[in-house]
Structure 1
Amino acid sequence: MERTLVLLKPDCVQRRLMGEIISRFEAKGLNIVGMKMMHVTPDLAKQHYAEHVEKPFYPSLESFITSAPIVALAIDGIEVIRVMRDLLGATNGCNAAPGTIRGDFSNSRQMNLVHASDGPEAAARELHLYFGTGDLCDFDHVTEEFMRAADE
């Protein structure tokens, strides 16, 4: 079992696609163990996107991510980091395959609805930025035995 961070970005919230996108995660059998709506502050944006702060596009990225509320999700699942990125599709919605979230709902590189951690180290770092001690709810899902074989 792996855990990852997913952010429903301001365009997702403003376009009222939160429920549609969360339902895709649940239909896939992924487990939401933390969720909160919040505003990303400029300081949090700088921490989250630390590797991009000095790049020329960073000011517009910060302006976008702080422009409206986001929904932060902590999600568990088998190979959840890869599975989530497959569900989302290519970063640029114009290049994302139909059937993926970005392929179905986005036609932009920046306004691509959702952020997902790109690896285990990033997931751990990013989860810590958005969720504190006691914010996550680990529990046994009664549907687990119907989602995959016991030996998977």
Structure 2
Amino acid sequence: MMERTFVMVKPDGVQRGLIGEIVSRFEDRGLKLVGAKLMQIDRELAEDHYAEHTDKPFFEDLTDFITSRPVFAMVWEGQDAIAQVRTMMGATDPADSDPGTIRGDFGLDMGRNVVHGSDTEPGSAEREIKLFFEDSELEDYERIDEPWLYE
């Protein structure tokens, strides 16, 4: 099933120069980048994005961090893209992430785990994509290698 998912290189990943490495991993996997932008998240967007955590004690720290420096927001497309991206990112806590995953290779701290990706809850990816991207900012195109990626 072809689907789209949202991924964000968080401020720690941007500051550490990991955008290219992270983009390369998803491209190497065969996922298609259909939207991307470097942006500074404002407080309102951060609160909307993390709305499910509003009542949790870490909400303030989370929103303060995500608004502290630029992020790199992306939309990836591919067969089972949501599950593929979740696997490639690794566990939320880098200490629990396997080597070879993005968080396992680059994350050092739960609060500085380099990337965010849409969870597997129905509608999460669509909701996050709409928060960060207008429809006009997303591209529909066929990659030349698609016949070699999918049956």
Would you call these one fold, judging by a TM-score over 0.5? yes
How much does 1:30 deviate?
Answer: 0.2
Aligned ranges 1:116-135 → 2 under 5 Å: 116-119=117-120, 120-135=122-137
Which whole-Å CA distance do the structure 1 matches of 2:88 and 2:129 have between them? Answer: 19
What is the percentage of aligned positions where both structures have the same residue? 47
Runs of 4+ in 1 over 6 A off after TM superposition: none
Report the RMSD for the aligned CA atoms in angstroms.
0.8
**Secondary structure of 1:111's aligned partner:** coil
Aligned ranges 1:1-152 → 2 under 5 Å: 1-119=2-120, 120-148=122-150, 150=151
Which whole-Å CA distance do the structure 1 matches of 2:135 and 2:146 have between them? Answer: 25
How much does 1:55 deviate?
Answer: 1.4
TM-score of the aligned structures, taking structure 2 as reference length: 0.96
Which whole-Å CA distance do the structure 2 matches of 1:103 and 1:51 have between them? Answer: 25
How much does 1:52 deviate?
Answer: 0.8
Which whole-Å CA distance do the structure 1 matches of 2:14 and 2:108 have between them? Answer: 16
Q: Residues 91-123 of structure 1, C-alpha deviation per residue, up to 9 Å, x if partnerless?
A: 001110001111111121121111000124100
Which whole-Å CA distance do the structure 1 matches of 2:126 and 2:111 have between them? Answer: 23
Letter in 1 for 2:135: T
How much does 1:54 deviate?
Answer: 2.1
Which whole-Å CA distance do the structure 2 matches of 1:60 and 1:84 have between them? Answer: 25
Q: Which structure 2 residue ranges, 5 or more long, are not aligned?
A: none
Which whole-Å CA distance do the structure 1 matches of 2:84 and 2:17 have between them? Answer: 23
Q: Residues 54-103 of structure 1, C-alpha deviation per residue, up to 9 Å, x if partnerless?
A: 21111110111001000110110100100000000010011100011111
Q: Which structure 1 residue ranges, 5 or more long, are not aligned?
A: none
How much does 1:46 deviate?
Answer: 0.5
How much does 1:147 deviate?
Answer: 1.7
